[in-house]
Homo-oligomer: A and B are copies of this chain.
Amino acid sequence: MKNFKRSIDKIQTLNSEEWHLLQDIISRKKVKAKEQLVVPGQIPRYMYFVETGLLRVFHLNEGKEINTYFACDGQFISTFASFITQTPSNEYMESIEEGLVYEISHEKLNQLYLQYPKFEKFGRYYAEQSYLCVINRTVDMLNKKSKERYEDFIQNHEKKIVQRTPLKHIASYIGIEPESLSRIRKEYIIS
């Protein structure tokens, strides 16, 4: 629970009672590699905190996987739109590596918000970060060349995500073919 505690502390200081309240709404779950935590059509009951591991969110566009989010140790992940609206997801959430996550129940989280408004700050923080992530990716896609998009990807993601995510998944996040990303990466190694 080390990473979870550290990440929560960065957002807000909790006293011991508040910390227990938060622990009461999460449950520990081991995930295998390539395990699906959310599939299209399903109303996602949980958002997740990644204690250890590597996960991604993607959707299918004409049969092709389009990655839109990655998370590793110390980060939250969800199919956010369907999680907050509690409507069927059109996205997948899948682990890339095996690991350990904490499930945070939508129902219990909202009860916690109601009873202890202090926790709303986590919701606001997470929603704001999710907004920034999607807007930055969209702006990059529209205005930047593939090399710059890869540079931004490196800058905005944890080292573990950059180093351990298969190249094809990063390429689909950036919106280029794996071969092009492979060429861009080679330039980095040479230069």
A residues sitting closer than 8 Å to B (CB atoms) are 61, 80-81, 84-85, 90, 113, 117-118, 120-121, 123-124, 127-128, 130-132, 134-136, 138-139, 142-143
Partner of A80, one of B131, B138, B139: B131
Q: Tell me whether B132 and A84 are in contact (CB under 8 A).
A: yes
A44, chain B: closest CB distance, angstroms: 15
In the complex, are the beta carbons of A138 and B134 less than 8 A apart? yes
CB-nearest residue of chain B to A116: B117
| A78, chain B: closest CB distance, angstroms | 11
A135 contact from B118, B128, B134, B139, Cβ within 8 A: B134
Give how many copies assemble into the complex: 2
Contact between A81 and B135, CB atoms less than 8 A apart: yes
Identify which of B61, B84, B118, B132 contacts A128 (C-beta below 8 A). Answer: B84
Contact indicator B127/A131 (Cβ below 8 Å): yes
Contacts of A81 in B (CB 8 A): 131-132, 135-136
Which of these, B85, B118, B139, B142, contacts A132 with CB under 8 Å?
Answer: B85
CA distance A136 to B82 in the complex (A): 11
Which 9 A/B pairs are nearest by Cβ-Cβ distance? A127-B127, A120-B120, A124-B124, A123-B124, A117-B118, A131-B131, A117-B117, A127-B128, A120-B121
Rounded to whole Å, the gap between the CB of A12 and the closest CB of chain B is 9
Which of A117, A120, A136 has the largest count of B CB atoms less than 10 A from its CB? A120
- Are B130's CB and A124's CB within 8 A? no
Q: How far is the CB of A4 from chain B (nearest CB, A)?
A: 20
Which residues on the B side are within 8 Å of A139 (C-beta)? Answer: 90
Chain B nearest CB from A140 CB (Å) reads 12
State the CA gap A123–B127 with chains docked (Å).
Answer: 9
